[in-house]
Structure 1
Amino acid sequence: MKRYLLAFAGGASFVCLINRPLPVQAMPDLEVAHDTLQLNDAERLNTLNSSASYDVKSFHDSIIVNDTQAESIVSTDSKQQDSSILNQKQESKNLGLTAVPSSSLQATPRSSNRVAASDVISQVTSVSQLSDVQPTDWAFQALQSLVERYGCIAGYPNGTYRGNRAMTRYEFAAGLNACLNRVNELIATATADLVKKEDLTTLQKLQEDFTAELATLRGRVDVVEARTAELQANQFSTTTKLSGEAIIAGIGATGGASGSNDSNIILTNRVRLNLNTSFTGKDLLITGLQAHNFLGGVSGSGSLQKSLGLASPLLSASSARVSFEPQFPGVDVKTLSETGSNDIELYKLLYIFPVAKKLTLFAGTAAEVSDAFPTITPFYGEGQEAISRFAGLNPVVRVSGGTSGSGLASAAGFIFDISKQVDLRALYGSVNANITTSAADVAGLPGVSNTPLGAGVFGGSSIVATQLTFRPSSSLDIALNYAHSYHEINILGTGLTSSDIYSLAGVSLGIPVTLNSVGGTVSWRFSPKVALSGYGAAIFVNDSSGRVDASTTFTSWMAGLHFNDLFKPGNNAGILFGQPLYRTSADGDARLTPEGERRAVPYHLEAYYRFKVSDNISITPGAFVLFNPEGNSRNDTTTVGVLRTTFTF
């Protein structure tokens, strides 16, 4: 309601110009009463986020709608509506100060809200009758003129004016009407207090003095109207916003398996177009298209990690993978069919919609776990931040193809805002929902069909994942993750290590497995431009067939420092160290160390620096070093260097 107080002050000042010009003064402590809305709260789906005007970052620390794409889901926070209702209630309580005309007729709105008898207002003839108005008050002259010259301001029965109280729209209408009636009365009776000639002269002089400024403003308004009309005539859609990202990167590496040759420097690209559509202003439909030229296929042929000798026997899983490379390049993993370089694919199709004040639902046929869960670590951002797959997200979020980079899963879930500091999110995902029946086995791989992930929404490989996010303060974010997965074949589905395939070492690839994964991620911004972030994860793999007795545990951790505006505003940097996924125990028929390997703890060291060339272009040089790659000391220390250029629009 303070906005209305400002409006009334403007109206009162106009009336006072009849008496004498008033100096322009800033009104203190005026606040806008409405808040904005965000998806992933980005982080709300950030926020969603942010986001009724859907500011989406892949709906992260969204929809949001994120960060990066579209880094959050549309928030269901209805505080704005509640605030409006509360304001209406407050108006009915505040009907205590109403301006009246000099005839002492009190203006009251036609409403069930009536002024209490104890608050009846009386007309005052001198500003000195108002005990709480002092000559030092910034609006003293205006009040003095309105009271003593025009007689159209009233006070409370106790002799107070209460000038700092927010006014209602009814009070504004009554006060303005009273003053206008008084002016009309003066004109009609032709009293000596009629508007003076010198006042009109002053007004005319002001108009002449500001002729140039008024003409300039008129010209600007005309330009804005013309541009608005042009935008309306050529707009893409009234409901859809188009955004995009193009990444071009040079990648080189040395080291790898003993006896392998260094890879040639390669030039890669990945282009994404995102259509973010809102039908109601609170919902969000994300449609994403992408193309890339990473190679791999079923055998991993042509991939960087395969040339280094560090890839898994199938599907090129490795710790040498960069952040913006899809998990299964060159192959449709659902059917093991080959795909071509720069083929266009639908990597995102997801609909997010609120159903209650604190509850939002989402569903789609091309989605990833990271779409629904807020990103805690600042290193995540495939086109802007860390350059390795290891650094971006907790491995628990990546299990079962949760971050395949190709919208592998059909998923449905919810976001429940427990409070401003806590939210709970969960989903069910199936990576084979569009497959009717399983195909025949692949030759030489018993139990592995040409549809290796199974068939049907509730048959074959699936995942149930949840994340509980805490924000106890503005500088601290904490996330706890749990995922339960079932896989038709013996894999982890993270793409983070060569042990991703044959997760139960020594057990056939065709043996189905069950995964229980737990993890936590923390980000602490101990200064405005520096954050300490890290994660820890454990994945427990068990045989699910009953034909063997085998289990294995994998662990991983990471810690690093992230810098904002380093050396120049908009430039970010990161340095981090950690342990990639490593098999720490094995029981039953499972082996701890695959045959031919020399067991050793792997480590990952990474640094990068992002130059912000403009609002739409950034360049990120960086490198990461792998010690004991893939947990095998027989492998040479490996260095992967990246020069990444990212265009956003």
Structure 2
Amino acid sequence: MKKYLLASAGGASFLCLIASSICVQAVPVNTITANKQESELKLSDTNFAIEISNNLESKSDNVKNVKQKNNKKLTQKQRAENVNQANSNQTGVDETTKASEEIEQVTSVSQLSDVQPTDWAFQALQSLVERYGCIAGYPNGTYRGNRAMTRYEFAAGLNACLERVNELIATATNDLVRKQDLETLRRLQEEFSAELATLRGRVDGLEARAAELEANQFSTTTKLQGEAIFAAIGATGGAPGREDPNIILTNRVRLNLNTSFTGKDLLITGLQAHNFLGGLDGSGSVQESLGLASPLLSASNARTSFEPQFPGIDPKNLSARGANSVELYKLLYIFPIADKLTLFAGTSAEVSDAFPAILPFAGEGQESISRFGTLNPVLRVSGGTSGTGLASAAGFIFNLSDAIDLRALYGSVNANIPQNAPDILPSVSGTPLGSGIFGGSSVVAAQLTLKPSRSIDIGLNYANSYHEINILGTGLTSSDIFALSGANIGLGIPVKLNSFGGTVNFRFSEQLALSGYGAAIFVDDSSGRVNASSTFTSWMVGLHLKDLIKKGNTAGILFGQPLYRTDADGDASLAAAGVQRATPYHLEAYYKFKVNDNVSITPGAFVLFNPEGDSRNDTTTVGVLRTTFTF
């Protein structure tokens, strides 16, 4: 079953839920506890014995003396062979230290083809192993490097036989242990007492450390993931008469707790803090400083990808939020109920949590630097990607086949509020998005994902929304507020939206992809008090490059049209009075440099032509230098 939720700490979507059982592996994440029996390491583990032997061989003169003493018991022929292989053996030692193959149980020393069976101790141990089955080697029956078994390796096998015999005696099966075998074991213990003591000391130390880690572990069921973004943002251009804003330094930090109770389910709890400003009137934001923001909530073409849609305010009740205040931005539970069917529900969720992004530019902390470039606008309708888990939502993921995937959800913005607050503007209450699971602003959305070939991904989206006030809820354009524009159409007019979108990603190779999307949003009056409708459209096309210059580095070049009102009927108008309409365009380029597995630096810029669809506005450039830390 292939379905996954993107639980990456950053990015416009926190879950991917695409084509395989939950993409964040839904298993108990503390490997110390999950593999407790493995961490209680036994000396019969020959891999462990070899590693200790190699370390001691290379660092301890005492070990060399022990080996020389043992070599005196070899035949003249063996000594000659060992001298001839001295250099190659050292190479074998190094290779053995790096060996990571899984070991399998063997029942005869003779299966270990590179151990020379000429010493009395070898023959004695061979007899014990064949009788009690107590030594392990590599699956191919050899030790790395084609060298003789070291005394420490031999001691590991001896200790395994001692433990096996002790088990037989402890379980009242001492009749299975021969008296002569006990005497042989005693002699072998005396011969290899120094090596046995060294190995046991190492194991005791490892067990003590494992116990300490277990005692101080975070959780046996929960994995902590985090992302911290530091970014410098500068801009120039904007509305006539506006001065360029100062360069600002912003941050966004997310901590995500991914919990699995059964190994197949996933509970996602996300906390975040950021220092973006905006509030109800958008003051303090780059967009407002440029003069390109909506009169409320600072929606704009000039938004960056990692900026929340409603900074500085809770849109549910219009209460203020201070910079770097901690908030719960994600709470979602995903659980399979059948081989191809998974359900999810939560009180802080986004549309993009359930729907695959398709675009390779998606990823707020790693890829595109603009809000325009990361997702199809249809996913953003109704605050679907607000960055704050605006809605309570429930839905399903149905994998019809490896090539067809269907997802759908219902989301309610103010599900936790029983009644509307008193009006603060005509027909606009203090809880402007409504109240109740079914009484307030809501959205029903679906996505059909198709994979006709290994190189093509297609996403088809539909969303039906109801908004208690006259907004789109995308955060992508200043026309987001007053979605129906007109002299007699106020903010308190409720609207209904039917949104259609398509996204395609075509991979020419593993390193090069051509991607794009198209979207159309149809807005109609839902009050009956006016006769008005409008249509918004948007499109984008771009090239995405992987492993550019260096493995792990990515780059993107994007061009397209931001959301733009292309049609208006009835009482609605195409633009407010005084606006000189012109089609807006967006051009963007960025390059992500991967410093290491945990740090990336992304310089980039995007240019807005006719920003906000008004030719009076100057061509605007927004530059970003983003550093992302993941842990």
Q: When the two structures are superposed, what TM-score results if normalisation uses the length of structure 1?
A: 0.70
Alignment of 1:481-630 (within 5 A): 481-506=461-486, 507-630=489-612
Residue 60 of structure 1 corresponds to which residue in structure 2?
16
Against the structure 1 CA distance between its residues 327 and 73, is the aligned structure 2 distance closer, same or farther, given a 3 Å change threshold? farther
The structural deviation recorded for 1:447 is 1.1
The structural deviation recorded for 1:211 is 2.9
Relative contact order (alpha carbons < 8 A, sep ≥ 6): 1 or 2 greater? 2
- 1:342 counterpart letter in structure 2: N
Q: State the alpha-carbon separation in 2 of the partners of residues 549 and 513 from structure 1.
A: 11
Alignment partner of 1:371: what SS? helix
- 1:462 counterpart letter in structure 2: S
Alignment partner of 1:494: what SS? coil
**Aligned match for 2:289, one of 307, 311, 321:** 307
Alignment partner of 1:547: what SS? coil
CA offsets, 1:262-301, max 9 Å, x none?
0110111111100001111111100000011100110001
Against the structure 1 CA distance between its residues 220 and 586, is the aligned structure 2 distance closer, same or farther, given a 3 Å change threshold? farther
Alignment partner of 2:363: what SS? coil
Q: Is the 8 A contact 2:250 2:276 kept in 1?
A: yes
1:45 aligns with 2:5: yes
Residue 415 of structure 2 corresponds to which residue in structure 1?
433
Q: Is the 8 A contact 2:17 2:354 kept in 1?
A: no
Alignment of 1:407-418 (within 5 A): 407-418=389-400
Alignment of 1:26-41 (within 5 A): 41=3
Against the structure 1 CA distance between its residues 246 and 211, is the aligned structure 2 distance closer, same or farther, given a 3 Å change threshold? same
Against the structure 1 CA distance between its residues 221 and 518, is the aligned structure 2 distance closer, same or farther, given a 3 Å change threshold? farther
Residue 456 of structure 2 corresponds to which residue in structure 1?
476
Q: Is the 8 A contact 1:63 1:74 kept in 2?
A: no
Q: Is the 8 A contact 1:462 1:487 kept in 2?
A: yes
- 2:272 counterpart letter in structure 1: Q
Against the structure 1 CA distance between its residues 220 and 561, is the aligned structure 2 distance closer, same or farther, given a 3 Å change threshold? farther
Residue 621 of structure 2 corresponds to which residue in structure 1?
639
Residue 151 of structure 2 corresponds to which residue in structure 1?
211
Alignment partner of 2:427: what SS? strand
- 1:210 counterpart letter in structure 2: T
Against the structure 1 CA distance between its residues 609 and 226, is the aligned structure 2 distance closer, same or farther, given a 3 Å change threshold? farther
Against the structure 1 CA distance between its residues 202 and 519, is the aligned structure 2 distance closer, same or farther, given a 3 Å change threshold? same
1:459 aligns with 2:415: no
Against the structure 1 CA distance between its residues 466 and 440, is the aligned structure 2 distance closer, same or farther, given a 3 Å change threshold? same
Residue 370 of structure 1 corresponds to which residue in structure 2?
352
Q: Is the 8 A contact 1:253 1:638 kept in 2?
A: yes
The structural deviation recorded for 1:225 is 4.4
Against the structure 1 CA distance between its residues 267 and 420, is the aligned structure 2 distance closer, same or farther, given a 3 Å change threshold? same
Alignment partner of 2:606: what SS? strand
CA offsets, 1:453-501, max 9 Å, x none?
0110100200000001112222211110000000001100000000000
Alignment partner of 2:297: what SS? coil
The structural deviation recorded for 1:646 is 0.7
Q: Is the 8 A contact 1:470 1:479 kept in 2?
A: yes
Residue 349 of structure 1 corresponds to which residue in structure 2?
331
1:261 aligns with 2:217: no
- 1:448 counterpart letter in structure 2: V
CA offsets, 1:147-166, max 9 Å, x none?
xxxxxxxxxxxxxxxxxxxx
**Aligned match for 1:419, one of 401, 421, 426:** 401
Residue 90 of structure 1 corresponds to which residue in structure 2?
none
Q: Is the 8 A contact 1:284 1:352 kept in 2?
A: yes
The structural deviation recorded for 1:230 is 3.0
Residue 400 of structure 1 corresponds to which residue in structure 2?
382
Q: State the alpha-carbon separation in 2 of the partners of residues 537 and 452 from structure 1.
A: 26
The structural deviation recorded for 1:629 is 0.1
- 1:350 counterpart letter in structure 2: L
Q: Is the 8 A contact 1:477 1:524 kept in 2?
A: yes
Alignment partner of 2:250: what SS? strand
The count of corresponding residues between Structure 1 and Structure 2 is 483
Against the structure 1 CA distance between its residues 423 and 224, is the aligned structure 2 distance closer, same or farther, given a 3 Å change threshold? farther
Q: State the alpha-carbon separation in 2 of the partners of residues 526 and 500 from structure 1.
A: 36
The structural deviation recorded for 1:435 is 1.0
Residue 113 of structure 2 corresponds to which residue in structure 1?
none
Q: State the alpha-carbon separation in 2 of the partners of residues 197 and 337 from structure 1.
A: 81
The structural deviation recorded for 1:201 is 8.6
Alignment partner of 2:282: what SS? coil
Residue 161 of structure 1 corresponds to which residue in structure 2?
none
Alignment partner of 1:307: what SS? helix
Q: Is the 8 A contact 2:278 2:298 kept in 1?
A: yes
Question: Root-mean-square deviation (CA), in Å?
Answer: 3.0
The structural deviation recorded for 1:210 is 3.0
Q: State the alpha-carbon separation in 2 of the partners of residues 394 and 464 from structure 1.
A: 16
The structural deviation recorded for 1:624 is 0.3
Alignment partner of 1:626: what SS? strand
The structural deviation recorded for 1:213 is 5.5
Alignment of 1:158-177 (within 5 A): none
Alignment partner of 1:527: what SS? coil
The structural deviation recorded for 1:234 is 1.4
The structural deviation recorded for 1:197 is 8.8
CA offsets, 1:411-441, max 9 Å, x none?
0001111111111100000001111111121
Q: State the alpha-carbon separation in 1 of the partners of residues 355 and 24 from structure 2.
A: 8
CA offsets, 1:293-350, max 9 Å, x none?
1001100011110000000010000010000100000001011111111111000001
Q: Is the 8 A contact 1:49 1:64 kept in 2?
A: no
Residue 253 of structure 2 corresponds to which residue in structure 1?
271
CA offsets, 1:78-132, max 9 Å, x none?
xxxxxxxxxxxxxxxxxxxxxxxxxxxxxxxxxxxxxxxxxxxxxxxxxxxxxxx
CA offsets, 1:485-536, max 9 Å, x none?
0000110000000000001111211100000000011111111111111111
Q: State the alpha-carbon separation in 2 of the partners of residues 197 and 485 from structure 1.
A: 79
Alignment partner of 1:253: what SS? strand
Alignment partner of 2:573: what SS? coil
**Aligned match for 2:219, one of 217, 237, 260:** 237
**Aligned match for 1:448, one of 412, 421, 428:** 428
1:287 aligns with 2:269: yes
CA offsets, 1:208-260, max 9 Å, x none?
64335567996886665454333212110011111111111110000001111
Against the structure 1 CA distance between its residues 201 and 226, is the aligned structure 2 distance closer, same or farther, given a 3 Å change threshold? closer
Q: State the alpha-carbon separation in 1 of the partners of residues 334 and 21 from structure 2.
A: 10
Q: Is the 8 A contact 2:423 2:429 kept in 1?
A: yes
Q: State the alpha-carbon separation in 2 of the partners of residues 406 and 202 from structure 1.
A: 68
CA offsets, 1:526-547, max 9 Å, x none?
1111111111100000001111
Where structure 1 has 5 or more consecutive residues not aligned to the other structure, the ranges are 1-36, 51-55, 76-172, 181-195
Where structure 2 has 5 or more consecutive residues not aligned to the other structure, the ranges are 28-104, 110-115, 126-142, 158-198
